[in-house]
Copies of this chain bind each other. A is one copy, B any other.
Amino acid sequence: MGSEITDAAIGGVFLKKLNQIIDNRGALFHFISNEDPKFSGFGEAYISKTNPNVIKGWKMHHKMIQNFCVPQGRFLFTLFDYREDSATKGFLNQFTIDDSINYFRLTIPPNIWYSFKCISDTPGLIFNVTNIKHDPNEVELLPIDEDSIIPFRW
């Protein structure tokens, strides 16, 4: 089984175009509600701010489901499916998410390696709504330049 950047979404990964209601005073950006079909409970909401050109990752959660949106700036996300029992094992996905034409909600299930780069000229913000509260015991990290598990180089 080869590993490639593909449009076939990794199993459990979900990308949803979100609504923005824009007027001359500003905007209202939808994100997530308890009535969304993909909503999986609320554990924590926090914000990650990333400076331009900075790459964060690799990171994998064993229990947490994450829901990201980008209300400011632009990010490129890279995801890798390393689950033994996954029909999409070995798949890489990349998604560009931002505050304008690519205003998406990205849902990442557990046991997916992910990293992201801020590709806007100004710092980017990622809002994350998760199904469980942060727990360092369910997180794994790899160096961003590791070269044995994840077939992708930034």
Which DSSP category, helix, strand, loop or mixed, fits chain A's interface? Answer: strand
Contact string against B for A residues 18-29, beta-carbon threshold 8 Å, 1 for contact and 0 otherwise: 000000111111
Q: Does A12 contact B (CB under 8 A)?
A: no
- Known contacts being A42-B42, A56-B25, A72-B72, is A47 close to B134, with CB within 8 Å? no
Chain B nearest CB from A101 CB (Å) reads: 16
Chain B nearest CB from A53 CB (Å) reads: 10
How many copies of this kind of chain does the complex include? 2
Q: List the B side residues contacting A69 at CB < 8 Å.
A: 47
- Known contacts being A127-B127, A133-B35, is A25 close to B50, with CB within 8 Å? yes
Q: List the B side residues contacting A41 at CB < 8 Å.
A: 42
B49 touches A71 (CB 8 A): yes
Chain B nearest CB from A47 CB (Å) reads: 4
What residues make up the interface of A, taking CB atoms closer than 8 Å to B? 24-35, 41-51, 54, 56, 69, 71-72, 118, 123, 125, 127, 129, 133-134
> In the complex, given contacts A33-B133, A34-B42, A45-B45, what are 6 additional A-B residue pairs having Cβ atoms less than 8 angstroms apart?
A26-B50, A26-B56, A26-B118, A28-B47, A30-B46, A49-B71
